[in-house]
Structure formats: C-alpha cells, structure tokens
Amino acid sequence: MAETPSERQTDSGITINPLYTAESLGAFDPATALGAPGQQPYTRGIYPTMHRDRLWTMRQYAGFGSAADTNQRFKFLLEAGQTGLSCAFDLPTQMGYDSDHARSAGEVGKVGVAIDSLDDMRTLLADLPLDKVTTSMTINSTAAILLLMYELVAEERGVPSTAISGTIQNDLLKEYIARGTYVYPPKPSMRIITNIFEYCSKNVPKWNTISISGYHIREAGSTAVQELAFTLSNAIAYVQAAIDAGLDVDDIGPRLSFFWNGHNNFFEEVAKFRASRRMWHDIMTNRFGAKKEASKLMRFHTQTGGSTLTAQQPLNNVVRVAVQSMAAVLGGTQSLHTNGYDEALSLPTEEAARIALRTQQIIGYESGVTDTPDPLAGSYFVESLTNEIERLAYEYIARIDEMGGAVQAIEAGFQMDEIEEAAYSYTKSIDDQSRVLVGVNKFTVDNEPEPKITPPIPGLEQGQVDRLKKYKANRDMALVTAKLDALREAAKGTGNVLLPMKEALRASATLGEVSDALRDVFGVYRPG
C-alpha cells in the first residue's frame, strides 16, 4: 500500500497539494488575471521587458558609526559595482534625539550612522554624485528632517532639488505595528507624511515620498499573507489621508513605492510579489479611481530576510540569501538589498558585503533568469499560490476595513495580536523540530570556529558629541531660536511644516532641536 504523503504547508499555512494540474486553477482566466508584462493588471511585472533590458538597482544597505565611516563604505560599495545607495541611521537619529542627549548614551552610531546636523550630512555625502546616484534612507519619524538635510546639501553643491532622486521610508503606521521607532501620535504623524507628499510633488519631483514597508512587519514574525495584507491596508490609509488633505490621487500615486521582505519559502515569496502588483492595481483603479497608469504600478524594493539569518554556521546564510534573492528577482523586484552572511553577529564586514553584492551580480549576469520576464508564469503551482495569497490577503483587508481602517485597527491592537500569534507558531515549530532550521535544530556541529566580526569603533560616541558641541557653538542662536519658534507656530496650524523646518535646518538647528519643537506641539505617543 502506497504511503500517504504528509501534509505540507507554506509559511502562511496554505496547504500545498501533492500535485498541481490545470484543474487546480479552476475558472482562472490567464488573459484577465495575468495580462502581459507591462500591462494591466501587472501580475507579470510593471515593465514589458523587465530585467531583460535593465537589471534591478543593486542597493546595499550601509550605515554605521560616524558620517565619515559610512561615506567610506558607500564609496567601497560603489566601486564594487553597487548602483544605488541605501543608508541606515542609528536609533537616536531615528527617534529624534541628538547624540548629546541623555537617552542617546550607548546607542550613538551602533545600528546605523549618527546624523545630528547639516555638517554630518555634508560629510555623509562628500564626493558622491548626487545628481546621478539614487539614495534610499531608512528613516521614518525624522524622515522629513533627513530629506531636507539631503536637499540642502545638494543645493549647496549646485545640484537642484529637481535633480536629486531616491526614497525615504516615511512609513509610520508600520512603526506602531511592528518596529517601535515612532515619536508622535498617529494623527500628527499622518499629517507630516501628507505634508511630505505635498512638498515633494512641488519641490523634489523625482523623490519617492514613501516606501510602504512590509519588511519590518515580516521581521516581527508575520506570515507572508499578513505582510502583504497589513502593508496594503497601511497604503490604503496613506492614500486616503492624502486625498482627505486635498491632494489628487494621481499627483501622489506615481511616487509611492513599497518595500518587501524576501524569505526562504521560495514559491510563496514569488507568488506574494506577483499578487502584490495585481492587488495594488485593483486598489488604485477601483478603490481610488486613479486615472494615470503610473499611479497603479507597484514599484518595490526587496531586502532578504534578516530574521532568517543564523548566528550558528553563518556561512549557511550565503545560501539563504541567494535563495531569497532569486525569489525577489523572479518576482519582479525593482531594487534589491542582499544581507551579509555575518549580520546575525555584527555589522557586515567588507568581505560579507562584497559577497552579498556578488550574489546579486551572479544572479543578474550568470543565471539566465533575467532573459525573459516572469519566467514562472503559467506554472499551475505558482498561479494557484498567487491566487490563494491574494484571496487571503483581501480577507484581512476586509476585516481591517470593518474596523474603520488601518489606524483604528492599530489602536485596537489587531495587527500586533495577529503577528504575535504567527511569531509564536513559527518559534514553536523550530523548538519542536516540525520545521528544520539547518545548523540550529538539525545538522548542527560542535566547536564552530570563531567568526570574524566588525569591531566596535573606539571613541565613536565621544567624537560625535564633540563635533556636535562645536557645531552648536558656531551658530547664531537667536536665529535658530526664531526659526524653531516659527516651526512650532506652523505645527499648531494647518500649513505644511516642511517649509519652516527647512529654514530651521538652514539656520543650523539640529535634528534633535527640530524634533523637540514638534514634540512640544504634537506630544509623544505612548502605546496603550
């Protein structure tokens, strides 16, 4: 008697059949559900030839220590063939505190670069071609400040704001759900976000004003379906807030971008990326009535899954990153960051960063997967999985809509509870060995060699504090005070806060001082 195959499931709990056939697709109509690459509903990609004519942007994440240290890493990566910059900021910068603040002690330059002032931004961007390179900044609560600093430095160097391009993450709702680097309550945070939309549409037209992030939702323990559903619900909230603020959907739609996580369940990840494009086209067309095709295109960046990396047998992570990267490329990503194999241990060494970049280059130039767009299209399994992920994600979105939308669901703790339950189930499956994690709960080794890690930078915090002290001493404090007062008055009203914010920074106000001015008016969010 033949043995009955054990049940298999994706990471989202979708049951995988032993075999997929044409009957698995039911009434699925490829003509309407797929279309051609570059055509509605964009399941197969947002451009006709996708990576055949132009590879994705290879954008390695970097940012540690001082601005000078990070500038050197940027140059190293550009010389190695990277095609876009991506900057990480330390926790004080993310939370709106200067490096000399008591709450910054011990955290300056630890998980990203410390940026307190225009001088720091000048050092960070020294000798970089700002009119040619695109820069992504992973920053949320203080996104407006960092964007304005970038713009001011570009202007000093003769590069107009109309010529600079890049992305700020600027996704506050996922901070309340998954990450925690929020400063202000949700409503004033949403106001700042829509102010950024408006400011950039008039002044920095090539800048992507938000990168709506599923990455951190997934890192917190969500499933692939939850990552997709909660991120799209946040996106719906942002678009609706912009419309409520008087902006036209077709003015902001083309500058929205997304940020997905790449995990190990290869086919589920490919299907997730494909479903995300189809869903966004439907949402922008039928929910918001967008007319421009550019408003309906889901353009997204992918980063391989940090939470999948293991400290045990870290070289195994090279393979994990390669699998995740291949899924992102076959799923049609527009840019990609590959994690260093040693990131479960420390900031990536130069060797790890180079191997991570070479992983993308080998996929792009040697594997052949870029020769035709969406090569997995038509697979009974992939199309079935794409359809099921879409169906389940829409079920979640409907539940969130019934609560009044993403903000109300966050206030009720809905997304956080769902993620916590998923994270618990995932951890339990590793503990009881129903899920194999190579090198952790199976195929372990004794006496692993000590890995090479990035050493701490001696004197980093004190050096940053000393530079900040000197910066503060050489400015017109009466002018700084006046500009910060003007920012407070603007925050009390209904106007765009970026205009007085830019003038305060131009007068040499620091990131912490600008953040404090807004804290004075908006208050600080304390989760219930």
**What pLDDT is stored for residue 460 in this prediction?**
94
Name residue 86's beta-bridge partners: 61, 136
Q: Is residue 227 over pLDDT 50?
A: yes
Q: Which of 26-40, 137-151, 379-393, 463-477 has the lowest mean pLDDT?
A: 26-40
Write the DSSP string, 413-460.
THHHHHHHHHHHHHHHHHHTTSS--BTTTBS--SSPPPPP-PPPPTTH
Question: 42 by DSSP, 3-state: which?
Answer: coil
Share of the chain above pLDDT 90, in %: 90
3-state secondary structure of 133: coil
Check if the beta carbon of residue 336 is closer than 8 Å to that of residue 328: yes
Residues 6 or more apart whose CB falls under 8 angstroms from that of 496 comprise 195, 198, 199, 490
Distance CA 376, CA 9 (A): 20
Query: Is a pLDDT exceeding 80 seen at residue 2?
Result: no
CA pair distance 52, 155, nearest whole angstrom? 36
Please report where in the chains the tokens 């000590």 appear, as a residue: 450
pTM of the model: 0.93
- Residue intervals of the chain classified under CATH 3.20.20.240 are 36-431
Q: What is the DSSP letter of 134?
A: E
Give the pLDDT confidence score for residue 453 in this predicted structure.
81
Alpha helices in 137-265 (DSSP H): 143-156, 173-174, 186-203, 215-219, 224-244, 249-252
pLDDT at 214 over 90: yes
Range of lowest pLDDT (17-26, 27-36, 155-164, 484-493) = 27-36
pLDDT of residue 82: 86
Question: Which helix (H) or strand (E) is 213 found in, with range?
Answer: strand 210-213
CA 241 – CA 256 distance, rounded (Å): 14
Decide if domain 36-431 falls under CATH 3.90.260.10.
no
Q: Across all residues in the chain, what is the average pLDDT?
A: 95
Tokens for 455? 């050493």
Compute the average pLDDT of residues 323-336: 97
One-letter amino acid of 60: Q
90 with 107: CB under 8 angstroms? yes
Q: Which of 58-62, 381-385, 523-527 has the highest mean pLDDT?
A: 381-385
Total residue length of the chain: 528
416 pLDDT exceeds 60?
Answer: yes
Tell how far CA 30 is from the center of its chain. Answer: 31
Q: Which of 425, 438, 232, 220 is nearest to 320 (CA)?
A: 438
* Residue range 338-382, pLDDT digits in tens: 999 999 998 888 899 999 999 999 999 999 999 999 999 999 999
Tens of pLDDT, residue by residue over 73-95, are 999 989 989 888 989 999 999 99
- At residue 262 the predicted structure's pLDDT band, cuts being 50, 70 and 90, is very high
The percentage of the chain sitting over the pLDDT mark of 70, rounded to a whole number, equals 99
Confidence of residue 271 (pLDDT cuts 50, 70, 90): very high
* 135 close to 161: Cβ distance less than 8 angstroms: no
Q: What is the DSSP letter of 116?
A: -
What is the distance between the alpha carbons of residues 102 and 465, in angstroms, rounded to a whole number? Answer: 11
Return the pLDDT at 160. 97
pLDDT at 5: 54
Which residues, in sequence order, are CB contacts of 248 under 8 Å at separation 6+? none
Concatenated DSSP letters of 457-482 = PTTHHHHHHHHHHHHHHSS-HHHHHH
Alpha helices in 283-374 (DSSP H): 316-330, 350-366
